[in-house]
């Protein structure tokens, strides 16, 4: 299958602090890749590098055959293909729930107001937030914010979704629901990169699991193999502590 995103030798430093080191991996069209690893291992930074919110210190990101780190590349055009759900949600404070899901569609995708609202409502319904269209972000609970953030990203109908812990604030029931939606989306050919701490979730949803440790990819493979027969010492230790919990 064809790689949508191909990351080659990616590295990222904050000052002298090297957070990502020589990351190599690719994601195929329609594939669901989950990224696991301990806190601070660079998972969020990796996602942020992929959509260029952080400027990588080195390496290449090949998207549809082009290196988007090339200077000639239009960043905004590229980002339209990617949706992102942030770990901190980052809902637009000056818009209500509906506005959060509509503004990008209208301004970036130039959809009409009616169309944008129809699509927004569709995805708000999926996450169970359609009755809160009028609420401002500050009036929402943690889980509600996260669901709106998911709906906002989905409303843009991107090719690739980057989820940074999309279920951290959700109750298990909602996690199940989101899982169901994601599977549906994966079925429609949506490519996904998901950072998660929920191993069950990772097992269930992913085609491939990437285990990150201290800024490098320690191991990757299909979930069955990673979870049942990890080859690396670090992975084993991480999973041991995790699973016996």
Partner 1 sequence: MTLEWIFRIVEQYWPMFLRGAGVTLLIALIGTVLGGLIGLLAGIVRTIPTPERGLKKIGLKLINIVLSIYIEFFRGTPMIVQAMVIFYGAALAFGYHMNPIIAGVVIVSINTGAYMAEIVRGGIISVDKGQYEASQAIGMNHIQTMMNVVLPQVIRNILPATGNQFIINIKDTAVLSVISISELFFVTKTIAGNNYRYFEAFFVVCILYFIMTYTITLILRYVERRLDGPDNYVIAANPMDTAEDIKRKTQGM
Ligand X SMILES: Nc1ncnc2c1ncn2[C@@H]1O[C@H](COP(=O)(O)OP(=O)(O)OP(=O)(O)O)[C@@H](O)[C@H]1O
Choice from 5, 36, 49, 226 touching a second copy (CB under 8 A)? 36
Helix 142-155 / helix 113-126 crossing angle, nearest 10 deg: 130
First to last CA, the chain: 37
Strand partners for 20: 12
Report, in Å, the least distance between residue 54 CB and ligand X. Answer: 8
**Of residues 45 and 191, the one with the C-beta less far from ligand X:** 45
**Judged by CB under 8 A, which of 7, 32, 68, 82 binds partner 1?**
82
Return the number of the residue (36 or 102) whose C-beta is nearest Mg ion: 36
Tell me how far apart the alpha carbons of residues 33 and 51 are, in angstroms, rounded to a whole number. Answer: 16
The reply on whether position 187 binds partner 1 by CB under 8 A is: no
Candidate ranges 3-11, 40-48, 108-116, 224-232; the one touching a second copy (CB under 8 A): 40-48
33 close to 194: Cβ distance less than 8 angstroms: yes
Rounded-to-integer distance, Cα 44 and Cα 81, Å = 19
- Provide, rounded to whole angstroms, the least separation between the CB of residue 114 and a second copy: 28
Closer to a second copy by Cβ: residue 94 or 139: 139
- Report d(CA 17, CA 20) in Å as an integer: 9
- CA-based nearest residue to 143, from 173, 170, 168, 165: 170
CB of 239 to a second copy, least distance (A): 9
Pick 51 or 206: Cβ nearer partner 1: 51
Residues 77 and 70: their CA atoms lie apart, in Å, by: 14
Q: Which residues between 186 and 205 bind a second copy (CB under 8 A)?
A: 197-200, 204
Exactly one of 3, 28, 58, 130 binds partner 1 (CB under 8 A); that residue is: 130
Q: Which of 16, 93, 188, 245 binds a second copy (CB under 8 A)?
A: 245
Interacting residue with partner 1 among 3, 92, 115, 239 (CB under 8 A): 92
Whole-angstrom distance, CA of residue 182 vs CA of residue 162: 12
CA angle 22, 24, 26 (to 5 degrees): 160
* Window 108-147: contact mask with a second copy (x via CB under 8 A): -------------------------------xxxxxx--x
Q: Give me the residues that bind ligand X (CB under 6 A), please.
A: 14, 17, 19, 37, 39-45, 87, 139-144, 169, 171
Q: Cβ distance 148 to 101 under 8 Å?
A: yes
CB 93 within 8 A of CB 138: yes
Calpha distance 161→154 (Å, rounded): 8
- Write out the residues near a second copy by the rule CB under 8 A: 14, 36-40, 43-45, 87-88, 139-144, 147, 164-165, 168-176, 179, 197-200, 204, 238, 241-243, 245
């Amino acid at each position: 299958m064809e790689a949508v995103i191909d990351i080659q030798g990616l590295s990222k430093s904050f000052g002298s602090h090297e957070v990502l080191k020589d990351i190599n991996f690719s994601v195929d069209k329609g594939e669901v890749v989950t990224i696991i690893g301990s806190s601070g291992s660079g998972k969020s930074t990796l996602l942020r590098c992929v959509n260029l919110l952080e400027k990588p210190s080195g390496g290449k990101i090949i998207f549809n055959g082009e290196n988007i780190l090339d200077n000639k590349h239009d960043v905004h055009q590229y980002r339209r293909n990617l949706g992102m759900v942030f770990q901190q949600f980052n809902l637009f404070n000056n818009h209500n729930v509906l506005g959060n899901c509509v503004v990008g569609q209208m301004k970036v995708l130039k959809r009409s107001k009616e169309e944008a609202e129809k699509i927004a409502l569709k995805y708000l319904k999926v996450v169970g937030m359609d009755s809160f269209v009028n609420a401002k972000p500050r009036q929402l609970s943690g889980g509600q914010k996260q669901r709106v953030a998911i709906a906002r990203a989905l409303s843009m109908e991107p090719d690739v979704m980057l989820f940074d812990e999309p279920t951290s604030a959700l109750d298990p029931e909602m996690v199940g629901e989101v899982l169901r939606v994601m599977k549906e989306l994966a079925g429609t050919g949506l490519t996904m990169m998901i950072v998660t701490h929920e191993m069950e979730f990772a097992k269930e949803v992913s085609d491939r699991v990437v285990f990150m440790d201290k800024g490098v990819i320690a191991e990757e493979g299909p979930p069955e193999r990673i979870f049942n027969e990890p080859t690396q010492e670090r992975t084993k230790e991480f999973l041991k502590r995790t699973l016996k919990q």
